[in-house]
Amino acid sequence: MARLFHLLINLSLTLASIAYPLAWLLGETLLGENHQQLSYLVVIMALLWAIKAIKAVGFQRFFATLMAILLSIIWFTRNLETMYWYPVIISTAMLILFGGSLFSSQSLIERLARLQNPNLPPEAIRYTRRVTQVWCGFFVLNIAICIVLILTEQYRWWALYSGGISYGLMGLLFVGEWVARKYFQQNR
């Protein structure tokens, strides 16, 4: 039951993260410059991060607590413009998680691969390290695109990119890696 609850919290956070930029775009179209109705989504996201922090450990607990606090401050101050930076914060956290693992004996992707096959051959270990590096590159690119869109005040493009295009690119990276892995496994 606890695993299901944890899964629901993560799924809800993912959906809220996708929904926020798209809701912002819809809100701007329907409501004009006043986005105060979106503050309710910020509250929901803050609560979800707080709930996640209760069960999380280590870096995940720290990050979930930090996100809950930041979102609460945004909600209390009603400074919704700072929510443009939410995708940047999430991508930065992912970059730290993936990139930080490159300085340990096992990269994050290697740890995930070892859940299925604990005895990875050396070439698979090199491959998982390379995949981790590719994901780091993706997060750097994602951060850069979001920052450029924010600083140039291209908020419609920010909403489209942050709420859809970036997730599409992420999906392409997942599929591309899966195809490459199958090719790698067959030709080893």
CA distance 142 to 10: 21
Q: What is the Rg, in whole angstroms, of the alpha carbon atoms belonging to the chain?
A: 18
User: pTM of the entire structure?
Assistant: 0.82
In whole angstroms, what separates CA 40 from the centre of its chain? 21
> Backbone phi, then psi, for 187, in 5-degree steps?
-100, 20
pLDDT tens per residue across span 109-137: 999 888 888 888 888 899 999 999 999 99
Query: Cα(first)–Cα(last) distance of the chain, in Å?
Result: 41
> Backbone phi, then psi, for 73, in 5-degree steps?
-65, -45
pLDDT tens per residue across span 7-53: 888 888 888 888 888 887 777 776 666 666 777 788 888 999 899 89
CA distance 73 to 150: 20
